[in-house]
Structure 1
Amino acid sequence: MDPVPEEAIHHERKIRIICIGAGASGLCLAYKLQRSFRRFTLMVYEKNAEISGTWYENRYPGCACDIPAHNYTYSFEPKPDWSKLYASSHEIKGYFNDFSSKYGLIEYIKIRHKVNEAQWREAEGTWKVAIEDLDSGQIFDDYCDILINAGGYLNHWQWPDVPGLHEYEGQLLHSANWDVGVELRGKKVGLIGNGSSAVQILPQIQPEVDCVTNFIRSPVWIVPTIGDSQHTYTRHEIENFVTNPRALMSVRKKNETVTNSIFSVYLRGSKLQNESKIQLTSDMKGKLRNKTLEDKLIPAFSVGCRRLTPDAGYLVALTKENVHVVHQGVASFTTGGCKSDDGTEHLLDIIICATGFNTSFRPRFPIVGLDGKNLQDVWTEQPKSYLGIAISGFPNLLTLLGPNSPVGNGPTLSAIEAQTDHILQMIDRYQTENIHSFYPKAEAVDDFAAHVRDFMQKSVWTEDCRSGYKNHSVDDRIPTLWPGSTLHCLEALRELRADDWDIRYNGNRFAWLGNGISQTEFDATSDLAYYIRDRDDSPFASRRRRREVLSRSGTQPPRELHKTHRPTDVSF
Structure 2
Amino acid sequence: MSTITLSKESHKNPEKFRIKYEDADAVLGPKKVIKKDESLPVKESYSKVTIIGAGFGGITTALSIIKNLGCDFKIFEKHDDLGGTWYANTYPGCASDIPAIWYSIFDEMVTNWSDSRPPQYEMQEYMQEIVKKYKLKESCYLSTQVVEARYMEKSAEWQVESWDLKTGQKITHRSKILVNCSGGLVVPNVFKPKGMETFKGNYMHSAIWDHSVDFKGKQVIVVGNGCSAAQVVPALLDYEPKSIVQTIRSQHYIFPPHPKFLYFLYWLLGWNRIGLVMVRWLVAVVAESRYPMFAGNGIINRIMRWVNTRASLRYMKKTIPEKYHDIVIPKFKIGCKRLIFDYYYAPALRDKRIDVKLDEITEVKPHSVVLKSGIELPADIIVACTGYNITQSMNPYHIIGRDGFDLNQTWKEEGQSAYETILVKKCPNFFMVPGPNSATGHSSVVLAIENCAKYFSLVAPKILNGEIKSLEVKSEKYEEWFSTTQDLLRKSVFGTAFGGCVSWYSNDKVNPTAYPYSQITYFRRMRNVKWQDFNIER
Q: What's the offset of the Cα at 1:355?
A: 0.7
Which residue of the partner structure matches residue 467 of structure 1?
503
The answer to whether the 8 Å contact 2:147/2:161 transfers is yes
1:353-373 CA distances to partner (integer Å, 9 max, x unpaired)?
Answer: 011111125413211122323
Checking the alignment, whether the CA contact within 8 Å between 2:359 and 2:372 is kept in structure 1 is yes
One-letter code aligned to 1:252:
R
Asked if the contact 2:290/2:442 (under 8 Å) is kept, the reply is: no
CA distance in 2, matches of 1:498, 1:251: 35
1:242 Cα deviation after fit:
6.0
1:13-58 alpha-carbon deviations (Å, 9 max, x no partner) = x9621110111111111111111223x3211011111111000011
Counterpart check, 1:413 vs 2:441: no
| Structure 1 residue 312 displacement after superposition | 2.2
* Pair 1:488-2:517 in alignment: no
TM-score computed with the length of structure 2 as normaliser:
0.85
Bigger relative contact order (CA 8 A; separation at least 6): 1
Aligned pairs (5 A) from 1:155-554 = 155-207=186-238, 208-227=240-259, 243-269=271-297, 270=301, 271-290=303-322, 292-360=323-391, 362-381=394-413, 382-461=415-494, 462=496, 463-470=499-506, 475=508, 477-505=510-538
Q: TM-score, normalised by structure 1?
A: 0.80
In 2, Cα distance between equivalents of 1:424 and 1:297: 45
What is the deviation of 1:457?
3.0
Identity value in percent: 29
**Greater Cα offset, 47-56 or 219-228:** 219-228
CA deviation after TM superposition for structure 1 residue 444, in Å: 0.7
Pair 305,192 (structure 1): closer, same or farther in 2 beyond 3 Å? same
Contact 1:406 1:489 in 2 (8 A): no
How large is the Cα RMSD of the aligned pairs? Answer: 2.2
Per-residue deviation, 1:249: 3.7
Distance 2:93 2:430 in 1: 37
SS of structure 2 residue aligned to 1:259: helix
SS at match of 1:69: coil
Q: Does 1:85 align with 2:116?
A: yes
Taking the TM superposition and a 5 Å limit, the aligned residue runs for 1:19-168 are 19-38=51-70, 40-168=71-199
Distance 2:317 2:295 in 1: 24
Could you say what secondary structure the match of 1:469 adopts?
A: coil
Listed as ranges, the gaps of 5+ residues in structure 1 are 1-13, 506-572
Are the counterparts in 2 of residues 126 and 145 from structure 1 also a CA contact under 8 Å? yes
Q: Summarize deviations over 1:247-303 as a string: whole Å, max 9, x none.
A: 44433232222112221121344211122222322221111231x421221111111
Count residues with an aligned counterpart.
483
Tell me the amino acid that sits aligned with residue 363 of structure 1: N
Alpha-carbon offset, residue 166 of structure 1:
2.2
CA deviations 1:136-169 (Å, max 9, x no partner) are: 1111211111111101111111222533332222
- Deviation at residue 413 of structure 1 after TM alignment: 1.3
C-alpha distance in structure 2 between counterparts of 1:211 and 1:164, whole Å? 22
Report the alpha carbon displacement of residue 125 of structure 1 after superposing the two structures with TM. 1.4
Change over 3 Å in CA distance of 1:23–1:244 after alignment to 2: closer
| Of 415-424 and 364-373, the range deviating more from structure 2 | 364-373
1:427, CA displacement in angstroms?
A: 0.9
- Amino acid aligned to 2:419: Y
CA contact (8 A) 1:337 1:351 kept: no
- State whether residues 258 and 341 of structure 2, in contact with CA within 8 Å, keep that contact through their aligned partners in structure 1: no
For the Cα contact (< 8 Å) 2:295–2:516, is it kept in 1?
no
* Distance in 1 of aligned mates of 2:432 and 2:388: 19
Structure 2: how far apart are the matches of 1:122 and 1:200?
48
Residue 248 to residue 365, structure 1, CA distance change in 2 (3 Å): closer
1:362–1:431: structure 2 CA closer, same or farther, 3 Å change rule? closer
1:374 Cα offset (Å): 2.4
SS in 1 for 2:72: strand
Larger Rg: 1
Change beyond 3 A, Cα 1:358–1:237:
closer
One-letter code aligned to 2:150: Q
Aligned 8 A contact 1:400 1:419 in 2: yes
| Matched AA of 1:224 | P
Gaps of 5+ in 2: 1-45
